[in-house]
């Protein structure tokens, strides 16, 4: 029970990494409010995890919707001291083929959305004695070029820059950190792979496999807990050594 007494919002918490984080936070004693985009997913996660304090179907790119969901989460949990900005989208497209609307949408969700929620959370946490912790799900794509994802890569790079600035401005009351997952086997990712594609991707990861969402959740538990009291401004990579491997590593 490493998170007893913590009250956490998890955006993008109905599926994949976010759902694993929400489940694990509950198991570690936290109160949790899950946010997700799709009302059907909101119903499903509320049924799967009845211990959740609150579930919101909200678009993080919609500032008024974020304001409302934030107020509801705070009211349902009696406050907030932990924010997990995990909602994110990607669209696979060559750089020259990216539509301007698609680019805008990726930025709106992945960058503006994090800004909207974390600014509200930071103001709230600064005003309370115990401060808080803000965690962002960035990606190895913030530091490594992945083909077909120029917009997504740019959005995750922006998150790291924002996180670093927040960490220095909000210290010592609020700790701010980013997690860079590598290839993680979420249901959506699994559905995209043919067996051949999966084998090819696993072949470039020195650990030989994708991460499991539960493995990411363990890192989030640590970073949200008081054990991580000195961790701020950090980028925590969990990628099975993929991003330190050069092309030669696959020979
Ligand atoms: N799976 C991977 O390999 C991988 C690798 C690196 C980083 N990530 C990042 O991890 C995070 C979680 O992704 P995942 O792999 O679990 O995929 P996922 O698609 O299962 O989760 C994404 C979540 O974001 C939510 N979301 C999307 N748009 C939203 C919006 N506008 N408003 C509110 N919520 C919205 C969805 O409801 C969903 O719960 C994302 O930020 C993603 O970029 C994933």
Which DSSP helix (H) or strand (E) runs through 57? strand 54-57
Q: Is the CB of 10 under 6 A from ligand 1?
A: no
| Residue 200 neighbours by CB under 8 Å, 6+ apart | none
Give the number of other CB atoms < 10 A from CB of residue 204. Answer: 14
- For residue 78, what is the DSSP state? T
**Which residue in 116, 149, 152, 220 is the catalytic one?**
152
pLDDT digits (tens, 9 = 90+) for 145-160: 999 999 999 999 999 9
Q: State how far the Cα of 111 lies from the Cα of 157, in Å rounded to an integer.
A: 10
Is position 220 annotated as part of the catalytic site?
no
Q: How far apart are CA 221 and CA 17, in angstroms?
A: 12
pLDDT for 32-89, tens place per residue?
A: 999 999 999 999 999 999 999 999 999 999 999 999 999 999 999 999 999 999 999 9
Indicate whether 73 belongs to any domain: yes
Confirm or reject: Cβ of 240 under 6 Å from ligand 1: no
Higher pLDDT, 251 or 20: 20
CATH code at 153? Answer: 3.40.50.720
205 C-beta closer than 6 A to ligand 1:
no
Is residue 175 assigned to a domain? yes
Q: How many domains would you assign to the chain?
A: 1
Looking at the domain assignment, is residue 94 inside a domain? Answer: yes
The predicted-structure confidence for 98-116, as pLDDT tens digits, reads as follows 999 999 999 999 999 999 9
Domain contains 205: no
Query: What global pTM score does this model have?
Result: 0.98
Q: Which residue has the tokens 């499991």?
A: 212
- Cα 138 to middle of ligand 1, angstroms: 10
200 pLDDT more than 90: yes
Q: At what angle do helices 113-126 and 150-170 cross, to 10 degrees?
A: 10
Shortest-distance Cα residue to atom 23 of ligand 1: 12
On whether residue 35 sits in a domain, the answer given is yes
Is 2 part of a structural domain of the chain?
no
- pLDDT > 80? residue 186: yes
Q: Is the beta carbon of 243 within 6 A of some atom in ligand 1?
A: no
> By residue range, what is the domain housing residue 150?
7-183+216-241
Tokens standing for 19? 């759902």
Residue 251 lies in a domain: no
Q: Is residue 210 part of a domain?
A: no
């Amino acid at each position: 029970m490493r998170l007893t007494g913590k009250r956490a919002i998890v955006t993008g918490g109905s599926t994949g990494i976010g759902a694993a984080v929400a489940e694990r936070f509950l198991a570690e004693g936290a109160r949790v409010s899950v946010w997700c985009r799709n009302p059907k997913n909101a119903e499903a996660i509320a049924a799967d995890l009845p211990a959740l304090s609150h579930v919101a179907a909200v678009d993080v790119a919609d500032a008024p919707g974020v304001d409302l969901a934030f107020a509801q989460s705070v009211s349902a949990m009696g406050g907030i001291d932990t924010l997990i900005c995990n909602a994110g989208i990607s669209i696979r497209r060559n750089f020259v083929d990216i539509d301007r609307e698609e680019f805008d949408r990726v930025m709106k969700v992945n960058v503006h959305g994090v800004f909207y929620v974390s600014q509200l959370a930071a103001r709230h946490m600064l005003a309370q004695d115990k401060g808080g912790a803000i965690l962002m799900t960035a990606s190895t794509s913030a530091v490594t070029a992945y083909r077909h994802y120029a917009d997504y890569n740019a959005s995750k790079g922006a998150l790291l820059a924002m996180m670093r600035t927040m960490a220095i401005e909000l210290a010592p009351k609020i700790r701010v950190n980013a997690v860079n997952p590598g290839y993680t086997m979420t249901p959506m990712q699994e559905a995209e792979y043919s067996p051949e594609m999966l084998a090819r991707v696993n072949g470039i990861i020195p650990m030989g496999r994708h991460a499991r969402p539960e493995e990411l959740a363990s890192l989030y538990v640590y970073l949200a807990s008081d054990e991580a009291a000195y961790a701020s401004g950090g980028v925590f990579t969990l990628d099975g050594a993929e991003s330190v491997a050069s092309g030669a590593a696959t020979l």
